[in-house]
Amino acid sequence: MKKHGRRVKHQGKIPDAISIDQRPQEVNDRKIAGHWETDDVEGRRSDKSALSTTVERKTRYTIISKLKNRTAEAKQQALVHRFRCFPTFLKKSITADNGMENSNHKEVARILKILMFFCHAYHSWEKGTNENTNGRIRRYIPKGKSIDTLSDEEVAQVEYALNNTPRKCLGFLTPQEALEQELKAAGQMHKKPKIIPFFVSWEVNAAQWLQSHPI
pLDDT in tens, 53-100: 999 999 999 999 999 999 999 999 999 999 998 999 999 999 999 999
Total domains, the chain: 1
Is residue 58 exposed (0-12), middle (13-18) or buried (19+ Cβ within 10 Å)? buried
- Flag whether 188 is in a domain: yes
In a domain? residue 103 = yes
Residue 2 belongs to a domain: no
pTM score, whole prediction: 0.85
CATH of the domain at 30: 3.30.420.10
Which helix (DSSP H) or strand (DSSP E) does residue 181 occupy?
A: helix 175-185
Question: Among candidates 159, 149, 168, which has minimal Cα distance to 206?
Answer: 159
Number of H helices, E strands in the chain: 7, 7
In-domain check, residue 7:
no
Using the predicted structure, report yes or no on whether residue 203 has a pLDDT greater than 60. Answer: no
Is residue 169 very low, low, confident or very high in pLDDT (cuts 50, 70, 90)?
very high
- Cβ atoms of 36 and 133 within 8 Å: the answer is no
Return the CA Rg of the chain. 17
Give CA torsion, residues 40, 45, 46, 48, to 10 deg.
10
The answer to whether 118 and 95 have CB atoms below 8 angstroms apart is yes
In the DSSP assignment, the letter for residue 205 is H
Task: Please check whether residue 112 lies inside any domain of the structure.
Answer: yes
Task: Note down the domain range covering 205.
Answer: 14-212
3-state secondary structure of 65: strand
